[in-house]
Chains A and B, each alone.
Chain A
Amino acid sequence: MVAPVRLPPRRADVAAASATSASTAVPRPRRRPSEFEGIDYATMAGCAVSALALSWVVFTRLTEGVGWFGFVLVVYLCFLALYGLVSADRLGRLLAVDRLATVAITSGAVLLAAPLVWLVGYVVLKGLPSLSTDFFREDQGGITPSMPADAGGGSHAIVGSLQQVALSLSLSLPLALATAVFLNETRSRLRRPVRIFVDAMSGLPSIVAGLFIFAVLILPYAEDSDVFGNNGLMASLALGMIMVPTITRTVEVVLRLVPDGLREASLALGASRARTVWSVVLPTARSGITTAVVLGIARAVGETAPLLFTSVGASLFNSNPFNGPQESLPLFVFRNIRNTPLPTQIDRGFTGALVLMLIVLTLFAITRMVGGERKGGRRR
């Protein structure tokens, strides 16, 4: 992507600006049109209280009342109406509409953010009590479902998750980059069928990916070689099938945003087409490609279904992804919460879910740091 032209503020400019304002003898009242001020918040609070009081009178004193949801809805609508009226009276119709729209959009955003906060908060609340450093050190060897939730740990699942994501990323990223470059930088007639194929693959149910690996690699070859048995590598292949279309589509969109002028400039300097892609197009799209990798990781790290037939899961530590069943965090959560109604098991599962979220966060941060936008080659 093209970096927008960002001029760093120059010291001199800032100094000059403050010098001018300092030399202005008369302090002038400043304002920013359509900004919320103290009085606006006071008005909003007043309207909210009035709306609450009005609804309370109507629903508890005068009528039989409605459920809590209806009550909240009516309070909110009353608040909007009152706030609109008061604002129109105070500021005029034009500004009142502006204020009303701002309030409606802000409350919509809060409404959308609420489930997310709830979801994350719930997992943290359920998982945090049983989370200790033991979780990162021990596996589930000798743990029975009725033992307390902080007994044993999930180190085997963490190692499995990290290995499988790393393996699938290293398999699928080169493939996805090559496909995206093919789709965007060549003039081949095959581009259209390939694009349709990639689109179709991005709609592939993830369990089908697992089933495919199971049927094509594990069933026929598992007896001959451990590499084709139930292990982390097979899980990585299934995850890779899910990652490739996601990364390809994102990278393709990002490459399309690289201005043609840059390609022409490169070719006019005597570069070959391949060299242009490698030295100009891909570096320019660097931060977008990072986003694609983040999306790919996000897609793969939480998948459970493709692992059911491939890595199967285990309760013991196995750090060799090429031999033997391997646990991963989604499987850990899945089996703990599904298998029993025991609260200890369920809490153990929530601890796994919390750790999974932490790992996703860490992976995103690392990806951003590695692939983030570097301003103009400060590498040297």
Chain B
Amino acid sequence: MSIPTEQATEQAVDLTAGPMRSIDDPLAGRPPIRLVGGPPPGAATLTARGACAWFGDHLVLENVDLHMPANQVTALIGPSGCGKSTFLRLLNRMHELVPGAQLAGEVLLDGQDIYRAGIRAQEVRLRIGMVFQKPNPFPAMSIRDNVLAGLKLARIRCSNKQELVEQALLRAGLWREVRDRLGDAGGALSGGQQQRLCIARALAVQPNVLLMDEPCSALDPTSTRRIEDTIAELRQHITVVIVTHNMQQAQRASDHCAFFLATENQPGQVVEHDTTETIFSDPADERTLAYVEGRFG
């Protein structure tokens, strides 16, 4: 796959999104940034078809079909060990980095399989960014260099790095706290700030999709709230898939929900997926109802 090197100007301001909190775009009126060698502009849809995952001979995820529409937030919920994180890592080819990991099925990014022959995993990961459970800023780099790390690592060129740093940090809701100390080490920030720095780092390469693996599990309520605001704002520009254990968070932050469940010694499967409203008010499966009401898991 060749990545078009056009301007990322028309960053889809396509507000087909659902009835969530209206968040002011902090970047309103800002000049667009031109990246050379980066992903094509706009959000992308992700579709998993018959996705399965193994660790060694152990099948952990079986036959998942899930559509994650563009410019929407899809939440993956379910008890621990049901394969949510594994599924998320299938979506940007991080699963195959685990020794002994195998997979089946396909994942379509805007209709094209990311696992087809002749496509490099690096290009997939460039278009589908990821934020991890534990904040992992690069300790040897300053805040500024952390934000720009993706450009350096993937050899993307940018004419206006200063503006890019500012926009990425603005979008991640961190700019005001760090604008006077961009040269400080990224590791010197608090946990919540580090996680937002990681979000800024993932956004700086202007991906089409952002995957978040329990991004708030190690954070306090204030930081969590800020990250949820960030997610709400992000969905104007890109597609977001988020794994969360927090029911309220799924309810607040997502448009669609998929409920994963693994019964004893069975691989994880999607029990039900629908709009967030339906999942939380009128789910089709009684196990979903039991889970979202907190009766198990």
Tell me the A residues contacting B by CB distance below 8 Å: 2-8, 187, 259, 261-262, 264-272, 275-276, 279-280, 283-284, 286, 374-378, 380
Contact segment of B73-81, B137-145, B232-240: B137-145
Note all chain B residues with C-beta closer than 8 A to A259: 136
A-contacting residues, B85-144, CB 8 Å = 92, 94, 97, 99, 122-123, 125-126, 129-130, 132, 134, 136, 138-144
The 10 A-B residue pairs with the shortest CB-CB distance in the complex, in nearest-first order: A376-B185, A270-B126, A271-B153, A270-B154, A376-B142, A261-B136, A268-B130, A269-B150, A283-B140, A377-B142
CB distance from A271 to the nearest CB of B (A): 4
Bound-state Cα–Cα, A261 to B185, Å = 17
User: Which of A5, A280, A375, A377 has the most C-beta atoms of chain B within 10 angstroms of its own C-beta?
Assistant: A377
Given A376-B141, A377-B141, A265 and B136 contact (CB-CB distance below 8 Å) = yes
Contact B201 A269, beta carbon cutoff 8 Å: yes
Bound-state Cα–Cα, A377 to B123, Å = 27
Given A261-B134, A279-B152, A375-B185, A268 and B92 contact (CB-CB distance below 8 Å) = yes
A-contacting residues, B143-183, CB 8 Å = 143-145, 149-150, 152-154, 183
Contact B132 A272, beta carbon cutoff 8 Å: no
Contact B138 A284, beta carbon cutoff 8 Å: yes
Tell me the B residues contacting A by CB distance below 8 Å: 92, 94, 97, 99, 122-123, 125-126, 129-130, 132, 134, 136, 138-145, 149-150, 152-154, 183-188, 198, 201-202, 205
Contact A377 B129, beta carbon cutoff 8 Å: no
User: Which of A269, A272, A375 has the most C-beta atoms of chain B within 10 angstroms of its own C-beta?
Assistant: A269
Contact B141 A270, beta carbon cutoff 8 Å: no
* 8 A-B residue pairs with CB within 8 Å: A5-B187, A265-B136, A268-B202, A270-B122, A283-B138, A375-B184, A376-B186, A380-B183
Contact A376 B126, beta carbon cutoff 8 Å: no
CB distance from A251 to the nearest CB of B (A): 16
Question: Nearest residue in B to A265 (C-beta to C-beta)?
Answer: B136
Note all chain A residues with C-beta closer than 8 A to B188: 5-8, 376
Contact A377 B187, beta carbon cutoff 8 Å: no
Bound-state Cα–Cα, A5 to B139, Å = 9
Bound-state Cα–Cα, A267 to B122, Å = 7
Note all chain A residues with C-beta closer than 8 A to B136: 259, 261-262, 264-265
Note all chain A residues with C-beta closer than 8 A to B125: 267-270
Given A187-B99, A264-B136, A376-B141, A270 and B183 contact (CB-CB distance below 8 Å) = no
Question: Nearest residue in B to A375 (C-beta to C-beta)?
Answer: B185
Contact B198 A3, beta carbon cutoff 8 Å: no
